[in-house]
Structure formats: C-alpha cells, structure tokens
Amino acid sequence: MSNRLENKVAIVTGGGAGIGEAISKLFAREGARVIVAGLPEDPVDDVAADIRATGGAALPFKGDLSTLQAAKDCVKTATNEYGRLDILINNAGTFVETNMLEDFTEEGFDYMVKNNIRTSFAMSKAALPELQKAKGNIVFAGSEAGVLGVPQNAPYGGTKGFVIAFAKGLAGEQAAHGVRVNIVGPGPIDTAWTHKETGPMDKQMEKMNNQANLMGRRGSVEEIANVYLFLASEEASYVTGALYMVDGGITIGKGPIGDQAAKSFKQEPQPSLDLDHSMDGHTTIRE
Ligand SMILES: NC(=O)c1ccc[n+]([C@@H]2O[C@H](COP(=O)([O-])OP(=O)(O)OC[C@H]3O[C@@H](n4cnc5c(N)ncnc54)[C@H](O)[C@@H]3O)[C@@H](O)[C@H]2O)c1
C-alpha cells in the first residue's frame, strides 16, 4: 500500500465493474477508504470484499444514483461509516445501444440521460456540502465522444458533452468553496462496452475503435484509473476545470473513417470559379 490518498474518503460510482472497479481498487491501495457504489445488481459487494481482503477499507452501496434520494443515502453511508467525504468519482454510466439516429430508440436515449447525466447531477448535488467541508474534489467520467461526437451513438456523445460542460461550470462555482472539479476523457477502454461479445458493437465498430487512435489498441482500465488518481490527489492541487484526455491520441488521430463515406461525398467537387493559381501556393523556402 502506498499513501497518495491517505486519510481520504472516496465514493466511486459505477465502482462494481469496468473502469470503476480499477479506480476503487487503486484508490484503496493508495490509502483511501472507498464507498464502492452501483446499481443493486452490480457486483459492488465483491469489489468491496476484495479490497478488504487485501488490507484496504471499502464498503458497498447499492442504489440507483440517478435519484437524489439514493445519492444522498450514498453520501450518508460515507459520512456515517468513515466520518467524512473528500473525493467523489462520478464514473457511473451506460452505453446500451449503437444505432443511427433514425433507428435509435427513445428508451435507449432516456436510459443514457438517466445514467450518464442524472447520476452526475444527483451525486454532485448530494456530495457538495461534505466536499466543501473537506475542501475535496470531484472527477467526472467524460469521453472523447463528448468532444468529438460518436457516429452510431450520437446521443451517448451528447450525454458526455453535457458532463464536460456541467463539470466545468461546477468548477467555476466551487472554486469559492475550495473544491476542485475535473474530468477524465477516456478513449476506447478495455471493458465490456468495447468488445463485440459483451457490448453493443459489431466487428467493424470494434476494429474502427482500435484503429482510430494513435496507439492502435484499447486503453486498459488501470491506464484510466491512474489519471483519476492523479486528479483526485493533492498532486493535482493546481488543476481544476480541466479535461484530461486519456484516449491513446484519438483526438488528434485521423483514422480511416473516410472509408465509410457515401460515394456522393467522395466525388471531387466540380470547380465553378475560373481558378488559375489554386496550386501556386507558397510551399518552399524562398531566397
Ligand atoms: N469503456 C470505455 O471505452 C469508455 C470510454 C469513454 C468513457 N467511458 C466512461 O467511463 C465510465 C465507466 O465505463 P465502463 O466501461 O467502466 O462501464 P461499465 O458498464 O463497465 O461500468 C459502469 C457501471 O456504472 C453503473 N451504473 C450505471 N448507471 C448507474 C446508476 N444509475 N446508479 C448506479 N450505478 C450505475 C453500471 O451498472 C456499471 O456497473 C462511464 O461513465 C463511461 O461513459 C468509458
């Protein structure tokens, strides 16, 4: 055990699976006491038990954190059991459907609004009084999709765009209370979502996901958790309102997505102006 989060108490939402499990376990290894929070059917008991079995401190919390009541109960669990709350990791989220908007279901859209947007709102609102007392911080799960948008799941990117702007607004408000607020923007990460066997992706989407970033692969959950750790720790004392992309360079990568374009898009436009110098640009060093 190391001690980058010694004496800190953290809530990790969506802590039972994927990136959230890695954040919970890494934070506990760094000395934090962790509330591993998730939906009633999530394996949050397992994750908390694993942490305790290796000498860490953790307790599960089960509830739908998109409701303010469950969010308040979750915060109460932290303060009743551990006496304080220093860190809120708003990691809970869902990615349930990949469809063009024409076919995107209203149910899928509402479900993502509930689990990606409402959880962020409810948990932040419930936690702020304690975070203000502790001069703590919040780290949100954004996504490269919240910056770039994502085809075949435009609503998902939209929910993450909300999260990013919401977190930045909150950072502005909470500076007056000594609370830092930041965002991690993962690229494709090695969780159930990005595998065709376990997530709503077909073979081609899975391949494109890996090709579209400069590393040519998914990121691991540990690679994401490391950045959450930095932002949540005192090492990031001068960092607030920031979006840290952890995306293998996807935001500057130019993947082969043009292969998918319609033939009509790929046709060169026919010039209508009388252009004689369009290729006479200043492209070499002149004496
Ligand atoms: N995996 C990726 O490639 C990727 C990329 C970019 C961003 N992210 C973001 O990272 C976060 C974690 O992603 P993941 O791949 O680990 O997902 P995951 O499905 O493995 O874990 C998310 C957890 O959040 C829980 N959750 C959802 N709604 C909840 C609610 N209302 N109340 C309580 N718990 C709830 C889920 O049940 C699940 O256990 C998400 O916010 C996601 O948008 C993931």
Q: Dump pLDDT digits (tens) for 95-145.
A: 999 999 999 999 999 999 999 999 999 999 999 999 999 999 999 999 999
* Contact call for residues 212 and 253 (beta carbons, < 8 A): yes
CA of 232 to the centre of ligand 1 (A): 18
Would you state the pLDDT for residue 270?
Answer: 87
Helix (H) or strand (E) holding 167, with range, is helix 154-174
**Integer Cα distance of 69 and 75 in angstroms:** 10
The region of weakest confidence among 150-164, 226-240, 256-270 is: 256-270
Beta partners for 120?
none
Smallest CA separation from ligand 1 atom 38, residue: 14
Q: Report whether pLDDT(259) > 80.
A: no
- At residue 91 the predicted structure's pLDDT band, cuts being 50, 70 and 90, is very high
Tell me the residue type at 6. E
Task: Give percent of the chain with pLDDT exceeding 90.
Answer: 80
- Segment 43-56 shows an average pLDDT of 98
Task: Give this prediction's pTM.
Answer: 0.94
- Residue with CA closest to ligand 1 atom 2: 189
The type of residue at 267 is: Q
Nearest CA to ligand 1 atom 9: 141
pLDDT at res. 162? 98
Query: Ligand 1 pocket: which of 193, 215, 220 to mutate (most atoms <8 Å of CB)?
Result: 193
Q: Mark whether 244 is an active-site residue.
A: no
- Counting residues of the chain whose pLDDT is more than 70, the rounded percentage is 98
Among the ranges given (82-91, 129-138, 151-160, 255-264), the one the predictor scored with the smallest mean pLDDT: 255-264
Q: What is the mean pLDDT of residues 35-46?
A: 98
Domains present along the chain, CATH in parentheses: 9-257 (3.40.50.720)
Tell me what pLDDT residue 254 has. 65
Q: Calculate how far, in angstroms, residue 54's C-alpha sits from the geometric centre of ligand 1.
A: 25
What are 172-213's pLDDT values in tens digits?
Answer: 999 999 999 999 999 999 999 999 999 998 998 898 888 888
For residues 221 and 189, the answer to whether their CB atoms sit within 8 Å is yes
Identify residue 36 by its one-letter amino acid code.
V
Task: Find the 94 Cα to ligand 1 centroid distance in Å.
Answer: 5
More confident residue, 274 or 129: 129
Distance of CA 251 to the CA centre of its chain: 15
What integer pLDDT is reported at residue 256 of this predicted model? 67
Mean pLDDT score of the chain: 95
Q: Which of 21, 89, 95 to mutate to test the pocket of ligand 1 (most atoms within 8 A of CB)?
A: 95
Indicate whether 22 pLDDT > 70: yes
Whole-number pLDDT of residue 43:
98
pLDDT higher for 89 or 214?
A: 89
- Interval between CA 164 and ligand 1 midpoint (Å): 15
Instruction: Look up residue 168 and give its two tokens.
Output: 């930045």
> Pocket around ligand 1: residues whose beta carbon is below 6 Å from it?
13-14, 16-20, 38-39, 42, 64-66, 91-94, 115, 119, 141, 143, 186, 188-189, 191-194
Determine the pLDDT at residue 120: 98
Is residue 258 over pLDDT 90? no
Pairwise pLDDT comparison (180 vs 270), residue with the higher score: 180
CA of 141 to the centre of ligand 1 (A): 8
* pLDDT at res. 275: 86
Q: Does residue 1 surpass a pLDDT of 60? A: no
Which ligand 1 atom lies nearest to the CA of residue 156? 43
DSSP string, 32-62: -EEEEEE-TTSTHHHHHHHHHHTT-EEEEEE
Question: Could you give the CA distance from residue 54 to residue 206 in angstroms, rounded to a whole number?
Answer: 35
pLDDT of residue 102: 98
Question: What average pLDDT does this structure show over 155-183?
Answer: 98
- pLDDT score of 282: 87
List 82, 111, 156, 244, catalytic entry = 156
Helix (H, G, I), strand (E, B) or coil at 223: helix
Question: In Å, what is the CA distance from 134 to each residue of 84, 109, 126, 235?
Answer: 7, 36, 14, 16
